[in-house]
Structure 1
Amino acid sequence: MVGAGAATAHLGGAARPHVPGWVVTALLAVATAAGVPAGVALAGGAVTVSGALPLAQTLAALVLLRSRWPLFTLLASVATVAAYRGAGLVEVGWVWPATVAFAATVLAGRIGGALAVGLGFLAYAANWEVTVGGRDPEWIAGHVGGEALWLAVVLAAALAYRNRRRWQDEVAARLEQSRHEQELAAGRRRAEERLRIARELHDVVSHTLAVVGVHLNVALDAVESAPGDARDALRLAQEVRGRAMADLGALVAVLRDDGVTGVESPVAQLDGVAALVQQVRSAGLRVTLDEVGDRSTVPTPVALAAYRVVQEALTNTVRHADAAQAVVTLRYAPDEVTVVVRDDGTAATGSAGGHGIAGMRERVEALGGRLAAGPADGGGFRVSAVLPVGGRR
């Protein structure tokens, strides 16, 4: 609530400091006990131990009940004032000695009750001054009218303070709700980012293991008969491993750092498709790359998804399809990007892509696209993805 309080102050006033209710009540009681005798003295009345002093003490004691029974406190306060005035123990003051009680009633939301009691008490005061005090109309207009003006000021000030306090509470509650919603949204974004990173890890590790495994098999077969070929295969495996470690380092850094909101693989763009194809070629699979259109206008999320589809499809071909060749086709149109990867391997084996095909489908559908994977006409396996340019999650 610190941020909400600061924002409340910025929007229209300082945030209310937290003061215990009993402290406020005690201060108001002390103010009543001291203020009533002072007011009587200023109005020209006598401050006596049988008049103004016990009246002030009684009103101060009633203030202690204001939080739980505000209307009762007000009624008891005006009744006490009326009793002291009727007994002649106090010569001045009708409404103003009960100022705290009137204000407390308004702050408690009993505005109508405070107004009704005030008007009724003023009417009683005017009648008493005429019938008992023998005052003339001019005196009544000056003195009782002045008390009526004081009552109006007190009620208006209390109502304004109450409305301001309610407005501050409402603003603070809205700001707190907004902060909570932002935290939830940030949590969802972090969870989505980690899910995306998990897919990236799967793609990088799966592809790297497949390509390195092929090179290691070549090196193992040629280590005695053709040491040069074995060294070349190991060198290629090491290069693939080095690029994969760079990717993995960037991805793991995101998982460890909550402050980082995203990372792109160093090669996971359309410019990296050619290098990806070359890696697979070095593993012994003949791959043809066919690109049609301008790829410079393809948005980064679409480019990354297209790259990952090609990578996953070729990885499945290397690992499962027992294929000799594959064709990668990328077509860039103003409204969509089409990715097709087809091999001549065993379709039934190639379709057993584990989580790879499911991951490709989730990635493509997250961008509003569609993916199809299955046996191709004439044999082999075919993966086709259509990614809309500007598609929304």
Structure 2
Amino acid sequence: MTDSVPLRPPVYVRRFGTLVDLALAAVTVVMFVAATVATYVQTPWDGAIQLALVLAVLILLRRRWPMAVLLLSVGAIFVYHLSSWSPAGWIWPASVAYFTAAATSRVRWVAAVGAAQLVYSAVDARWIIDRNMERYLIHTVGEGLLLAVLISGGLAHAASLRWRDRLQPCHHDAD
């Protein structure tokens, strides 16, 4: 008798994934709004809440369209930063999108998008140099390190899934 692998994961696995995505969406909203309020933005209604909600909705679509979610997240962050002042960050609001997209076969594109976003972030924050070089370096290097961690984490996650998938047939043969 041969074991057949189901085409779809069991219901409890799909529900757990949905709960994880809902939790990540909620954390993104809370963290982004909290960061903008903590950085003395006059009111989060000037774009922060709207961006946080857009990012949250995109997180719910990340498994189906990881690269589209990354590009839309980065685009929304650009629009936010161009339309209102906020030191709320460039990379970390899209952390979930970067991690998810980095776990795909398009990791080079993910790195290119991240590098472009980092360069723009560094240029956009250049006004800080005259006032506080240390803060500028922390901002720029911190965003770069976060991007490296997210891409590395996505790659490691993808590798662990491939490893698990390769081991799974071995367990069926032993039965």
TM interval, shorter chain, is 0.7 to 0.9
* 2:46–2:84 contact (8 Å) kept in structure 1: no
Match of 2:62 in 1: 66
1:164 aligns with 2:157: no
The CA RMSD measured in Å over matched residues stands at: 2.0
**Of the candidates 13, 25, 34, which is equivalent to residue 19 of structure 1?**
13
State the one-letter code of the partner of 2:125: E
Shift of 1:45: 4.2
Shift of 1:26: 2.2
Match of 2:128 in 1: 135
Larger radius of gyration: 1
**Of the candidates 106, 113, 118, which is equivalent to residue 114 of structure 2?**
118
Higher relative contact order (CA 8 A, sep 6+): 2
Shift of 1:53: 1.4
Number of residues of Structure 1 aligned to a counterpart in Structure 2:
158
State the one-letter code of the partner of 1:136: I
Shift of 1:41: 4.2
SS at match of 1:177: helix
- Superposed, 1:286-297 pairs within 5 Å as none
Match of 2:3 in 1: none
Distance change (3 Å), C-alpha of 1:82 and 1:145: same
Deviations 1:245-271 (A, max 9, x none): xxxxxxxxxxxxxxxxxxxxxxxxxxx
Deviations 1:169-224 (A, max 9, x none): 21122211343xxxxxxxxxxxxxxxxxxxxxxxxxxxxxxxxxxxxxxxxxxxxx
CA distance in 1, matches of 2:174, 2:125: 58
Shift of 1:93: 0.7
CA distance in 2, matches of 1:164, 1:29: 24
CA distance in 2, matches of 1:40, 1:164: 35
CA distance in 2, matches of 1:104, 1:25: 11
1:40 aligns with 2:36: yes
1:87 aligns with 2:80: no
Q: Percent identity?
A: 32
Unpaired stretches in structure 1, ≥5 consecutive residues: 1-17, 180-393
State the one-letter code of the partner of 2:60: L
Higher helix share: 2
Higher strand share: 1
SS at match of 1:91: coil
SS at match of 2:128: coil
* 1:55–1:80 contact (8 Å) kept in structure 2: yes
Deviation beyond 3 Å, 4+ runs, structure 1: 39-42
CA distance in 2, matches of 1:89, 1:136: 17
TM-score, structure 2 normalization = 0.79
CA distance in 1, matches of 2:85, 2:69: 21
State the one-letter code of the partner of 1:135: I
* 1:26–1:64 contact (8 Å) kept in structure 2: yes
Unpaired stretches in structure 2, ≥5 consecutive residues: 1-11
CA distance in 1, matches of 2:40, 2:70: 23
